[in-house]
Chain A
Amino acid sequence: MKKVIIIRYAEIFLKKKNRGFFERAFENNLQRALKGYTYELIKQSGRYLIENFDEYETEEMLAKLQKVFGAHSFSVAQETASDLDSIFEAAKSYCQESGTFKVDTHRGDKKYPLTSIEISREIGAKILEYAKGKLKVDVHNPSFTVHVDVRDHGKALVFGEFIDGANGMPVGTAGKGMLLLSGGIDSPVAGYMMAKRGLKVDCLHFHSYPYTNMQAKEKVVDLAKILSEYTCGTKLYVVSVTHIQEAIHEKCKAELMITLLRRFMYRIAERQALRIGSQCLITGESLGQVASQTIEGMTSSNSVVEKLPVLRPLVGFDKNEIIEKSVKMGAYETSILPFEDCCTVFLPEFPAIRPKLSEILREESKLDVEGLIAEAFASLEKIEL
């Protein structure tokens, strides 16, 4: 019997006139996820079928598909002839040894001689007979369900379970954003959250070599790679801010190191975003998590971003909630590798928690802001993932 993967999409079905745009993006993303596999993607109303693939690769393909935003659920079905005996043969493999069950039938082929309810009843009866008293029917709270989908051309699909998809909207349907990616737990999750709403995400990472090491950068590349499976690929831009930290260290108050550095990071991020056509900045900030993520800190950073909105999808999340999502997306193990991502050599003992904008501006005026930014851009490196 032939195996078929059923893909059902999520919110796309709410779209009316521009549904085609979302469907095309979704299809492209499915195909990108399955690059390297042999298969056929067939579009049906409200869903897709994957056929003619190597059955040994089913699990692997499913794992890839589960990272494509826009999919509500998947099922691995057996395709059979639509006569009752053939359907029953397929249905047997989804039966547990004991417990209760029901048969749930959809009938796409309206010319089929039996109605959905009649098909369920017939197949149910065959299963009862086959189980010799070990199974009972319970249509309200069954321990398992056999799903039957009668299609045109004398074909039927039979399956046992719904596998959760990633939900959300197809990546690329909501525009493009620039994620400030550190080596920590939060920022990859922030990228994941925005990709889930259909944003195409590119990443920007700041390093402070020689104060941070090559492994720390490699870790960020690994994180971007993990994220890229959800974002249908990503471009990682890497910029050195060593000279900026040194300039701040030399000329400004120690407790403002992080505040001032972040203002540089946001400026660089906005400029790079505009260069490549990104429409927003994304950060992993969560209110109050660290000294620089207070309202005052965010105000200070925001005030240097002139044209783009700064999206902070994690702003109301607790650390535990973020960790949970990080684990789910598969980034956590990499995020907690012990490499330093921000130069702690210059980290002040007591960073300013509620920096005043007037003081920040006074300290910043001691620096050649434009010159330092230009120097940072000279170090820009692009890694395509």
Chain B
Amino acid sequence: MIYLDNAATTQPNMVALEHAQDYLTTRYYNPSALYREGYEVSGELKKARSALLSKVADETLFELVFTSGGTEADNQAVFAFAKRGNAVTTAGEHSAISAVFAELKNRGVVEPRIAPLERNGQVDVEKLLALIDEKTSFVSVMHVNNELGSINDVNTIAKLVKQKNPRVIFHSDGVQAYGKLPFKIAKEIDLYSISAHKLGGLKGIGGLIKRKSLALPAYIFGGGQELGRRSGTENVFGIQQFAFAAEEKFLTLKADFERIMRLRERLWDGLDQTIFQRLSPTDGTPYILNVSAVGLRGEVLLHMANDKGLLIGTGSACSSNSKTRYSKVVLACGYDERVADGVLRLSFSPKNTEEEIDEAIKILNEIGLDLKNRMK
């Protein structure tokens, strides 16, 4: 089986699993407990927090609040700060942001504004800035688009946004970027969401990185964990496994980046370009290659590939059971429904080999041609 759906989730880091197992079986103490054993676990938690944070941010300026994942981090950010005037985001966001903006509209407290995308999947920065005025309270721009892989230069965008209105709280969804792109969070970014299971961690763990001086209201009330912002006994095992996995991932980040870039281009070069059209930009994340079998249906190809042992995605795995089958993001880039219907998302992990890529090329070309002939 060849797994090319690593943007949906990727195999957990097994070494990290083993390493963290201790916190599941023998050191299962509640980190809030007052005896020595509990206190020690809380110390280990602190180390993990610091390790995860320091990879992308200056620890003197930022801190990390653990959450149940990227979606919760995004929800926390929006609901905490999009409270008055208008809030601005992009047409390329993951549903963890776009659905929250739709909810803001329902509640009628804040006016949501959506900035359009360029053909390459990046936000149109000029138009985004045009949406920001003195009444804007919150802006959210994703770092790496989860469908196309397009990268928004969020550090620069945050600076431009703050020049226009320094009171804006700026958030970025970094779920597909963390551990995959060389990046440090600029001081103009107030909030940044991360997730564990996209880089070898487990599902159910993520975090919201926040500027220290920013007062983040409590999202879940209870025992006051996470400095009162997110109550509930910490998922110590998940956090430790996340920290170990991230440690390893960041060590090879640059080497992985280059190798996977070669894999991505090898895959694209091998695909039958009379069937497939490339939607991912060349300067996007190497981890995602989005193509469209124009005029064919991506989901049918997904099933056909599945039967041949190749696991791929269509749009975003998180939106494949939503009512509209067309990728909103692809439509937002200006493509028509025939293109949007044929979308396949191929996403990589450092574990993928050249042999796998070659086999995937063979399968994709075969099924693409097969379906094209059947639909004639």
Contact = CB atoms under 8 A, between A and B. Distances in A.
Contact of B300 (A210, A215, A338, A339): A210
Interface in A77-129: none
Given A210-B307, A246-B374, A249-B374, A345 B323 contact: no
Contacts of A345: 297, 300, 375
A211 B299 CA distance: 8
A289 interface: no
Interface string B302-321: 11101100000000000001
A52 interface: no
Given A246-B374, A249-B374, A345-B375, A211 B323 contact: no
Contacts of A210: 300, 302-304, 306-307
A184 B226 CA distance: 47
B26 interface: no
A217 to B, nearest CB: 12
B93 to A, nearest CB: 21
Nearest to A340: B325
Interface in A205-240: 209-211, 213, 215
Contacts, number: 24
Interface residues of A, number: 11
A359 B323 CA distance: 37
Contacts of B300: 210-211, 345
Given A338-B322, A345-B375, A213 B297 contact: no
A209 B302 CA distance: 11
A244 to B, nearest CB: 13
Contacts of A215: 321
B303 A213 contact: yes
Contacts of B302: 210
B322 A209 contact: no
A338 B375 contact: no
A345 B325 CA distance: 13
B83 to A, nearest CB: 33
A159 to B, nearest CB: 45
Nearest to A345: B297
Contacts of B303: 209-211, 213
B304 A338 contact: no
Contacts of A250: 374
A215 B314 CA distance: 15
A235 to B, nearest CB: 26
B374 A213 contact: no
A63 B300 CA distance: 41
A249 B373 CA distance: 11
A253 B307 CA distance: 30
Contacts of A338: 321-323
Nearest to A214: B303
A211 B304 CA distance: 9
Contact of B299 (A213, A246, A249): A213
Interface in A309-354: 338-339, 345
Contacts of B299: 213
Nearest to A346: B375
A164 to B, nearest CB: 35
Contacts of A213: 299, 303
Interface string B351-376: 00000000000000000000000110
A249 B374 CA distance: 8
A375 to B, nearest CB: 16
Interface in A54-82: none
Interface in A188-218: 209-211, 213, 215
Nearest to A246: B374
Interface in B67-112: none
A345 B376 CA distance: 12
Q: Output the residue of A246, A250, A345 with the most chain B CB within 10 A.
A: A345
A250 B302 CA distance: 22
Nearest to B299: A213
A184 to B, nearest CB: 15
Interface in B293-349: 297, 299-300, 302-304, 306-307, 321-323
Nearest to A343: B300
Q: Output the residue of A213, A246, A250 with the most chain B CB within 10 A.
A: A213
Contacts of B322: 338
Nearest to A245: B374
A99 to B, nearest CB: 42
A250 B307 CA distance: 23
A215 B320 CA distance: 11
Nearest to A211: B300
Contacts of B306: 210
Q: Output the residue of A210, A215, A249, A250 with the most chain B CB within 10 A.
A: A210
A118 B281 CA distance: 90
A49 B297 CA distance: 57
A209 B297 CA distance: 13
Interface in B261-299: 297, 299
Contacts of B307: 210
Contacts of B297: 211, 345
Contacts of B321: 215, 338-339
B309 to A, nearest CB: 14
Interface string B230-267: 00000000000000000000000000000000000000
A250 B375 CA distance: 8
A249 B300 CA distance: 16
Contacts of B323: 338
A202 to B, nearest CB: 27
A141 B299 CA distance: 62
A338 B320 CA distance: 10
A246 B371 CA distance: 11
Interface of B: 297, 299-300, 302-304, 306-307, 321-323, 374-375
Given A213-B299, A345-B375, 9 more contacts: A210-B304, A210-B307, A211-B297, A211-B300, A215-B321, A246-B374, A249-B375, A338-B323, A339-B321
20 contacts: A209-B303, A210-B300, A210-B302, A210-B303, A210-B304, A210-B306, A211-B297, A211-B300, A213-B299, A215-B321, A246-B374, A249-B375, A250-B374, A338-B321, A338-B322, A338-B323, A339-B321, A345-B297, A345-B300, A345-B375
- Shortest 5 CB-CB distances between A and B: which pairs? A210-B303, A338-B323, A210-B304, A210-B300, A211-B300
